[in-house]
Chain A
């Protein structure tokens, strides 16, 4: 009897909302087990990535960092369903049901349809989204155009806009669809430094508001440290998981303030050292062959 009272006390004391949200946080949205991919072309086989094992938590900002050719884009395309893995298991969970999760993707560039205006580029995808039936699409389109600050450019065609503006539309488009998971394949790689910094801020802002799981592929160490909760470092040839590093920097993050922190610099140095190891073998190989 005293035991029962004790249990009831505990139940009353505990804030169940907090418990539930904590449980929520630890739900694994993406699980990757022994995932491998080999491209075969005319007897020649190229290993894109091999025996990958990792998990991505719900609501997490997860960066995949690696040198070019390490298979990170292939991995992202596999998660997006654009490519299929050769072996291993990939499970993508929906946020609030047991169904397979939906994904949205932002590409490096030219992902917008050139024959559609800003408004129609966003609206077209919403019209085809089964989740959006019975929703006021115009209101959603306007909300997201506002969110990325392109109200004045709603009826422009992509070629009339700058590269930075186009990527803002791509981001708006992907968030507007409310997928469970957002995938971004080096979305800022072709932008100049200032624009990139501005878009990092914008992306973090939207991500914090919309609370989506975000998988971000990059080869830029500082970009990864600034944005991510965790960084998966990939090794090249074949692509494998080298390490997964937790970025313990406070949020909200502000670039100028953050880069003064020793913790930030340590993280960058740590990742730099890891990636340098990846580039070393090349030098040796080159020396041997010459």
Chain B
């Protein structure tokens, strides 16, 4: 049991939950603000679905899916282009350095001006957030492809498309995955923040509504769902990374 990695994987979050449960039950924590995890789970499983939990979760997932996909695709494409073309790199890099530190949520009103208050503005803000993280990591990955592979490709006259798809992309893949993992977490942050204002569904909307109606358990349910989604995305990306980079045995 103690040698099983899955035991240790679940041991730390379970330990925290147990400690929390004990603190609430003993009256050390105020149950109105910190309801016991058992009560939150009970609410999450038996009450939330009836109050439209799945509508909220699927609304957020929809925005994350399209925004993340578009942002990552754009980030990888531009990152590779910048990494291989010196002029594009020199031209685009100042823009990236300028735009990257601006909090994406700060430009949400502007985005809503352009794309309306519907789904598109949320998808776009998630896309922008993922885009920069993936772009910067991809660029770093392309730079990290050793010079010798460029030499081999040049001596053996490897065609440009083959070179990009089978030398540069695999070489940059470990760094690209770092960007993808950062971006998925960041997408969750952004989508929730975007849903706090100007949304009629979504996990962020759920949390904000619960706060306004002092429905604390529902608020915790929303927070818990975000955590689980984050964990699920991380595990999925780790699995995908191991599948796609079989030459990196750990």
Contacts and interface: CB of A to CB of B under 8 A. Distances in A.
A107 interface: yes
A82 B148 contact: no
A128 B173 CA distance: 22
B149 A81 contact: no
Given A113-B167, A114-B247, A115-B170, A125 B156 contact: yes
Interface in B134-181: 146, 148-149, 151-152, 154-159, 162, 166-167, 170-171, 173
A80 B157 CA distance: 11
A211 interface: no
A279 to B, nearest CB: 29
A177 B151 contact: no
A160 to B, nearest CB: 8
Interface string B223-250: 0000000000000000000000111010
B158 A125 contact: yes
A102 to B, nearest CB: 8
Given A115-B171, A124-B166, A110 B158 contact: no
A99 B171 CA distance: 34
A157 B156 contact: no
A178 B173 CA distance: 32
A104 B157 CA distance: 10
B249 A159 contact: yes
B155 A105 contact: yes
B154 A81 contact: yes
Interface string A205-245: 00000000000000000000000000000000000000000
A160 B246 CA distance: 11
A141 interface: no
A127 interface: yes
Interface in A135-159: 157-159
A7 to B, nearest CB: 48
A124 B249 CA distance: 22
A20 B146 CA distance: 45
Interface in B85-123: none
Contacts of B159: 128
Nearest to A130: B157
Contact of B245 (A110, A115, A124, A158): A115
Contact of A82 (B154, B157, B167): B154
Interface in A86-126: 103-105, 107, 110-111, 113-116, 124-125
A159 B247 contact: yes
A129 interface: yes
Contact of B157 (A107, A129, A158): A129
Nearest to B171: A115
B155 A80 contact: yes
Contact of B246 (A81, A113, A157, A158): A157
B170 A127 contact: no
A116 B246 CA distance: 10
Contacts of B246: 157
B91 to A, nearest CB: 25
Given A110-B146, A115-B245, A159-B247, A129 B151 contact: no
A212 B28 CA distance: 84
Contacts of A177: 156
Nearest to B157: A128
Contacts of A158: 247
Nearest to B156: A125
Contacts of A116: 166, 247
A59 B44 CA distance: 78
The interface centre, meaning the residue of B158, B171, B247 with most chain A CB atoms within 10 A of its CB, is B247
Interface of B: 146, 148-149, 151-152, 154-159, 162, 166-167, 170-171, 173, 245-247, 249
Shortest beta-carbon contacts, A-B, top 8: A115-B170, A157-B247, A105-B155, A125-B156, A128-B158, A115-B247, A114-B247, A80-B155
Given A111-B148, A113-B167, A159-B249, 17 more contacts: A80-B155, A81-B154, A103-B155, A104-B156, A105-B152, A107-B152, A110-B148, A111-B152, A113-B152, A113-B166, A113-B170, A115-B171, A124-B162, A129-B157, A157-B246, A159-B247, A177-B156
13 contacts: A80-B155, A82-B151, A82-B155, A104-B156, A107-B148, A113-B170, A115-B170, A116-B166, A128-B157, A128-B159, A129-B156, A129-B157, A158-B247
